[in-house]
Structure 1
Amino acid sequence: MAGPLTLDQVDIALLTALTEHPRAGDLELSRSTQVARATVQSRLRRLAEAGVIADWDPTLDVAAAGYEVQAYVTLEISQGALDEVAADLAAIPQVLEAYVTTGSYDVLCRIATRSHPELQATLVRIDQSASVVRSTSVMVLSTLVAPRVLPLLASTEPPPSRRAPAYRA
């Protein structure tokens, strides 16, 4: 099994161009990155197959869609109840995402609602899960750093070449 994909400068340039102009086609990406169109196509296919490009969906802003009240909720759950909690959370549309974590709590969720009463109702619904022992919520006031990936990908140094040095006789 192959390890994680190693990204080079061409990959980073393509991902940056695609992030800045998500509707750009292969030809436009080829021009903006100064890379051959066939290279763009093969690189994008490789990035998608490796899961680096997770999807081609638009990025949706829940606040702009009217769900301005957002919170993070940590859950302490019963031992061995992860599947039940996952099903309970998946059944609540206001739960945008949930992650299994280490530390004092077992699960971290992000939720969004239209109002504070709806937030309260959502928190009560989460707490009604038989497997939730305790929950703690923290309101989001504003976004300090928006979700991002490119600075991380661009900051890593490429690994040294595995090619053996060429020697002259």
Structure 2
Amino acid sequence: MTLDQIDLALLTALTEHPRAGDLELSRQTKVARATVQSRLRRLTEAGVIADWDPTIDVAAAGFEVQAYVTLEIAQGALDEVARDLEAIPQVLEAYVTTGSFDVLCRVATRSHPELQATLVRIDQASAVVRSTSVMVLSVLVAPRVLPLLASAEPVPSRRAPAYRTAHRTRGKVFPST
């Protein structure tokens, strides 16, 4: 899907004011409420807006010990590893990767002993051949998307112009005044 300037304005407004309703988003983006509604529906159906969940800071919720874990897994065991990782609540996300390891996970725990227990549990998965973990000390760049979207080549808006270049009167076309 290609995003235009209205889509970007709407996504920016949603990011800055996630609890804003359609009317407020209409005011902020300076487009009609019906346009906001149709754009939100289109962005949601296309998967650009993945969910309407709140963004939760796990460290602020008490899970301050975080780490990234790389996994080398047995060949053909991706489904099994996915099931094993999904069963561990401390695994926040996992991605299949290229390179010297197969899976990259992010984990969060309340303490170092809990992190150690989580790492042991990950290593006990039968398809995990080797794991390596790296502790997170602090957040340097928080998760973000808007700078990426804003850096893309601008796409002209699909919005109809505020004026018509011609109007019809009884079958005849006259230039706008």
What TM-score, normalized to structure 2? 0.87
Letter in 2 for 1:79: Q
2:74 aligned to which of 78, 86, 90: 78
- SS at 1:48's partner residue? helix
Shift of 1:160: 8.1
- The answer for the alignment partner of 2:146 in structure 1 is 150
- SS at 1:18's partner residue? helix
- The answer for the alignment partner of 2:91 in structure 1 is 95
How many pairs were matched up?
Answer: 157
CA distance in 1, matches of 2:74, 2:22: 49
- The answer for the alignment partner of 1:114 in structure 2 is 110
CA RMSD of aligned residues (A): 1.2
* Gap regions ≥5 residues in structure 1: 162-169
- The answer for the alignment partner of 2:121 in structure 1 is 125
Shift of 1:158: 3.6
Percent identity reads 88
Please tell me whether the aligned partners of residues 12 and 153 of structure 1 are also in contact (alpha carbons under 8 angstroms). Answer: yes
Shift of 1:111: 0.1
Q: Which string of whole-angstrom CA distances, capped at 9 and with x for unpartnered residues, describes residues 96-134 of structure 1?
A: 000000000000000000000000000000000111000
- SS at 1:120's partner residue? helix
Moved over 2 A (4+): 158-161
Shift of 1:159: 5.5
Q: Which string of whole-angstrom CA distances, capped at 9 and with x for unpartnered residues, describes residues 66-112 of structure 1?
A: 00000000000011111111111000000000000000000000000
CA distance in 2, matches of 1:92, 1:66: 17
- The answer for the alignment partner of 2:53 in structure 1 is 57
Shift of 1:154: 1.0
